[in-house]
Amino acid sequence: MAIEDKSKDTLEDEFDDEFEEDEVEVNDPFSGYNRSMTYFNDVVYTNVLIPVSTGYSEVVHVEIRQGISNMFSNLVFPVRFVNNVLQLKFDNALEETGRFLINSTIGLLGFFDPAKEELEWKAHNEDFGQTLGFYGVGPGPHVVLPFLGPSNMRDAFSIIPDSMLNPTSEYFYDLPFDASNGIVLNGVFYINKASLHLGEYESLKKDAIDFYPFMRDLYEQNRINEIKE
C-alpha cells in the first residue's frame, strides 16, 4: 500500500463548504457492507490510531512531526506532477517541479518547505481519481475501504496507478519490497499525520446524527469539488 499525501489538509478544511453545496446524489448499493466497514474503521481509529498518535505527539515535538509530514509530501511529488500534466495543468506541474527541486535541496530532502514559505509555491494535490474525473469518468458506487475510509470505485481503482508512481510504494521498485518495510513506512505516515490533526475526527463524529452517510456525503462532495478545481 502506498502513501497518498494530503497531509496539509485538515478534515475541516476539506469539508468547510459542504453544506453550502447542493445535496450530492450518491450511488450506494453496498450500504450494508459500507456501514459495517465504517464501524470497523471507527473501532481501529478510536482504539488504536488515536491513542498511539496522541502518545506520539507527546514525545515528538510538533516541528519535527511537521517536518516528517513535509518529507512524505515531497516524496509523493511524482504522483502530483504526472496527474497535473494529465489534466493539462502545466503551470501547476511546473510549480510542482520547482517545489521538488528547492525542497529536496535547500529544504533538506523536504523536511523544510522553503518553496512555500519563501516563494509561496504551494503543492497542487492531484491524483488519478481526479484525473479520471477530469475526463468525465463517474465515481461509481461508494465503497468504504478497510483502514483507509470512504472512497468510491473510481478512486479505489486509482490507488493502483498512483502507487506505481509513488516512491513509498513497492510498485515503484524493480526489486522486491519487504512487506514489513511497507507496514512500518505507512504506519509512521498515518501516525504522524493523525498526530497533527488530533480532535478533528472526534469533532466530525460529534456533529453527525448518522455517522456513515455523513462521512459518505462529505467524501463524495469533496471529491466533486476537487475535480472541479
pLDDT value, residue 178 = 65
Q: What are the residues facing 145 on neighbouring strands?
A: 149
pLDDT value, residue 6 = 57
pLDDT value, residue 185 = 87
pLDDT value, residue 68 = 98
Number of C-alpha atoms within 13 angstroms, CB side, residue 191? 18
**pTM for this entry:** 0.87
Which residue do the cell numbers 485538515 mark? 10
Q: Which 3 state secondary structure label does DSSP give 2?
A: coil
Strands 149-152 and 142-145: antiparallel
- Type of residue numbered 74: N
pLDDT value, residue 132 = 99
pLDDT value, residue 120 = 97
Q: Which of 2, 11, 6 is nearest to 45 (CA)?
A: 11
User: Can you list the pairs that 59-62 forms with residues at least 24 positions away whose Cβ atoms lie under 8 Å?
Assistant: 60/195, 62/196
Outline where the chain has alpha helix (H): 11-15, 31-44, 50-59, 62-75, 77-86, 90-105, 114-119, 128-134, 153-165, 179-195, 200-207, 211-228
Q: How far apart are CA 62 and CA 203, in angstroms?
A: 21
* Tens-digit pLDDT string for the chain (229 aa): 556 665 445 455 554 554 455 567 899 999 999 999 999 999 999 999 999 999 999 999 999 999 999 999 999 999 999 999 999 999 999 999 999 999 999 999 999 999 999 999 999 999 999 999 999 999 999 999 999 999 999 999 999 999 999 988 766 655 556 667 778 888 999 999 999 999 999 999 998 999 999 999 999 999 999 999 8
pLDDT value, residue 168 = 82
